[in-house]
Structure 1
Amino acid sequence: MKVLVTGGSGFIASWIRRDLLAHGHSVLVMDHQDRRQNLAPGEEFFLGDVRDATAVTEAAAHVDGIIHLAAVLGTQETISNPRPSAETNILGSLNVFEAAAQYNLATVYAGVGNHSFRLIGTGCYTITKSAAEDLARMYNAYREGGRITIVRPVNAYGPGQSVARPYGTSKVRKIAPAFVCRALTGTDIEVYGDGTQISDCVYVEDVARAFVTALEHTVQHGPTEKPVEVGPLTSVTVNDIARLVAEYAAKVTGREPVGVTHLPMRPGEVPNAVVSSDTSTLAQIGMTAADFVPLDEGIRRTVDYYATEWLPGYLAA
């Protein structure tokens, strides 16, 4: 099967592409930035933006299925500038769903783990991603050719995730690299809020396997009845994650574990929030969270990656 991966140069996409290739599929990578130099054997590149309906339809004409990841990310970032996320996450998804229906293509859409936040107020990222979920349900219910499975991962983490300022160039702060980079440089980890909020994390390799398995299921059986929620069996707090990172980074660096500094929550973040998943929904595609990489092992792999692949270059700069 040849699979179109939109947003194909991103963090999760890179792992999904690897899993697709490992399971005998070929990949058409679609991205609005030309990164064809990173292609592996079995991959082709399509330069295009999901906001361009013509480009999406042309890409869809050459594949057997779609994994739709392209999105504008960020919580407080999309509050201060909501238009790009609305254009990409809603209209871009509409273009993907329309092209998929035209060619009767099985499609997997990347939903958002904190979808429930839109009922209590949050950033445009969650609002727009949830709106696209509603569109997916409409296509499945009323449009001929509508074959869309929604996969909702919680916070994906692991090797290769982009690093935000001041340690990297990314404009969006992600929990794992933000914590790991500070701990490896001997700087206290910054936690927004009191850290008691639940923010479940799932290792990116497991996320990738869920997306690919969901697509294979959709090809054979049609879309799942409920969104597939990808996360761990046991929930943890942000403080728990910070402590794990600090402890393992200390083993790597040979220093004492760094401390934790608490900062005011940012716009769009919800005090006492719970970001978790109903892992029973994985059974719809024959998976179980019991097989996922445990948090402590995933943190170990992630810290080791940044210690060897990121830290030397940062210290030399």
Structure 2
Amino acid sequence: MKVLVTGGSGFIASWIRKELAARGHSVLVMDHQDRRQNLAPDEEFFLGDVRDATAVTEAAAHVDGIIHLAAVLGTQETISNPRPSAETNILGSLNVFEAAAQYGLPVVYAGVGNHAFRLVGTGCYTITKSAAEDLARMYNLYRDGGRITIVRPVNAYGPGQSIAKPYGTSKVRKILPALTCRALIGSPIEVYGDGTQISDCVYVEDVARAFVTALEHTAVNGPTEKPVEVGPLTSVTVNDIAAMVAGHAAAVTGRPVVDLVHLPMRPGEIPNAVVSSDTSTLQQIGMTAADFVPLAEGIRRTVDYYATQWLPGWLQGMQVSA
């Protein structure tokens, strides 16, 4: 298949593109920023925004399937400024689903692991991503050509994930880079809330395998009956994750294990929250979470990546500024 990957320059997308190539599929990357310099030699690039229905329809005309990842991310960010996420995550998804229905294309849509939070109050990211899930179900039920499978990963992590300020340039804080960078430089790890909340993490390579497998399944069998939830078999707390990161960072750097510092929860975060997955839904596409990278191993790989790819540049920058 030739597969259109919307938001194709992002973190999860980069791993999905590798997985597609490994399985013999060709890739058309669609992104609203011109990042074609990051493409593999055999990948194609389409400059366009999913909010532009004409651009999406044109891109869809040249492929056999779509993995739809393009979205405006962030919890606090979408509370303070909800319009961009509403426009991209709802209207952009509508454009993708409409174009796919026009050409009879299978689609895998990236849902959100904390979808249940919309019932108790959360950021516009979860609200809008969940609204697009409702649109997907509508297309599958009532529109000719509706062939959309929803894949809901929990917190994807791994090498290459962007780093938020002050340690990087990203505007959105992700849990593993945030914990890892502080631990590697010897600063206390900041945990929002008491850390007993469940926020499951899944290694990005496993997420990529789930998305590509779901697309292949949908192309042959149609959409799955239920959303495919991608996460670990066993849940852990945020404190557990932070402790693993701190321990491996200490082993890598030779410094003492850093402390955990608890901060007040931010808007959109829910005390005692549980973000986990029903991993039995993976059976719909012939997968099992038992084959996923264990959390301790995934954290080891991730901390090692930032220790070699990020830490030297950070330390050099600190020396220059001093």
Paired residues for 1:35-54 under 5 Å: 35-54=35-54
Match of 2:201 in 1: 201
Match of 1:33 in 2: 33
**Letter of the 2:225 counterpart:** E
Match of 1:220 in 2: 220
**Letter of the 2:4 counterpart:** L
Match of 2:124 in 1: 124
Matched residues in 1 for 2:101 and 2:172: separation?
32
Match of 2:320 in 1: none
In the TM superposition, residue 316 of structure 1 has moved relative to its aligned partner by 1.2
**Letter of the 1:177 counterpart:** P
Matched residues in 2 for 1:299 and 1:213: separation?
24
Paired residues for 1:75-224 under 5 Å: 75-224=75-224
In the TM superposition, residue 315 of structure 1 has moved relative to its aligned partner by 1.1
Matched residues in 2 for 1:290 and 1:264: separation?
35
Structure 2: where are the runs of 5+ without partners? 318-322
In the TM superposition, residue 75 of structure 1 has moved relative to its aligned partner by 0.4
**Letter of the 1:61 counterpart:** A
Residues 260-282 of structure 1 deviation map (CA, whole Å, 9 limit, x = unaligned) = 00000000000000000000000
Corresponding residue pairs, total: 317
> What SS does structure 2 have at the residue aligned with 1:150?
strand
Match of 1:277 in 2: 277
TM (normalized to structure 2)?
A: 0.98
Matched residues in 2 for 1:48 and 1:148: separation?
22
> Percent identity at matched positions?
87
Match of 2:266 in 1: 266
Matched residues in 1 for 2:79 and 2:43: separation?
36
Match of 1:250 in 2: 250
Matched residues in 1 for 2:36 and 2:255: separation?
40
Matched residues in 1 for 2:138 and 2:260: separation?
45
Matched residues in 1 for 2:129 and 2:42: separation?
30
Paired residues for 1:14-33 under 5 Å: 14-33=14-33
Q: What do you get for the CA RMSD once the two structures are aligned?
A: 0.4
Matched residues in 2 for 1:316 and 1:50: separation?
39
Structure 1: where are the runs of 5+ without partners? none
Matched residues in 1 for 2:157 and 2:176: separation?
6
> What SS does structure 2 have at the residue aligned with 1:109?
strand
Matched residues in 1 for 2:144 and 2:40: separation?
35
Match of 1:72 in 2: 72
TM (normalized to structure 1)?
A: 1.00
In the TM superposition, residue 42 of structure 1 has moved relative to its aligned partner by 2.3
**Letter of the 2:68 counterpart:** H
Matched residues in 1 for 2:74 and 2:257: separation?
29
Matched residues in 1 for 2:105 and 2:78: separation?
31
Matched residues in 1 for 2:125 and 2:41: separation?
34
Matched residues in 1 for 2:312 and 2:31: separation?
29
In the TM superposition, residue 41 of structure 1 has moved relative to its aligned partner by 2.7
> What SS does structure 1 have at the residue aligned with 2:310?
helix
Matched residues in 2 for 1:259 and 1:18: separation?
37
Match of 2:11 in 1: 11
Matched residues in 1 for 2:73 and 2:96: separation?
18
Match of 1:62 in 2: 62
Match of 1:290 in 2: 290
> Deviation above 4 Å: which 4+ runs of structure 1?
none
